[in-house]
Amino acid sequence: MSKRAYIEIDKNDLPEIFEIELAGQNVYLKFDFNYVGQFYTVDLFDNNMEPIVIGEKLSYGRKLWSGLSNPLIPNVDIMPFDESLKEKTITPENLGVTVFLYLMTLENDGDYL
């Protein structure tokens, strides 16, 4: 059982878009797979479907939207991560199996960021 909440992605039905509440604000996330580069991406939209960040690459162990300073980005740490610490990358085989898009809310989560 997971210690953290996570955002569920249906990797078999991409592109996938859905509304979600993050840090008290409703936003839309759109997930897709880049077949040329072999990586997953996420787009962030406000509640009017206006783009905030487009084409953010999901990178294992790296917080989404890190390094961006846009007040429209929800103030929440979201990171592709494997709680067992066995994985080091995101692949079609492990996403949604051992690697999940976690909301990093535990006290020691800053150690991973």
Beta-carbon count within 10 A of 92 CB: 12
Distance CA 85, CA 98 (A): 9
Distance CA 107, CA 67 (A): 22
- Using 50, 70 and 90 to split pLDDT, how confident is the model at 104? confident
Domain boundary assignment for the chain: 6-106
Task: Confirm if 64 and 36 have CB atoms less than 8 A apart.
Answer: no
Asked if the model's pLDDT at residue 71 lies above 50, the reply is yes
Whole-prediction pTM: 0.88
Residue 108, pLDDT score: 63
From its phi and psi, is residue 61 left (phi > 0), alpha (psi between -120 and 50) or beta? left
In the predicted model, what is the mean pLDDT of residues 74-87?
A: 92
Give 97's contacts (C-beta < 8 A, 6+ positions apart). Answer: none
Give 13's contacts (C-beta < 8 A, 6+ positions apart). Answer: none
Asked if the model's pLDDT at residue 113 lies above 60, the reply is no
Q: What tens digit of pLDDT does each residue of 9-45 get?
A: 999 999 999 999 999 999 999 999 999 999 999 999 9
How high does pLDDT run on average in the chain?
A: 91
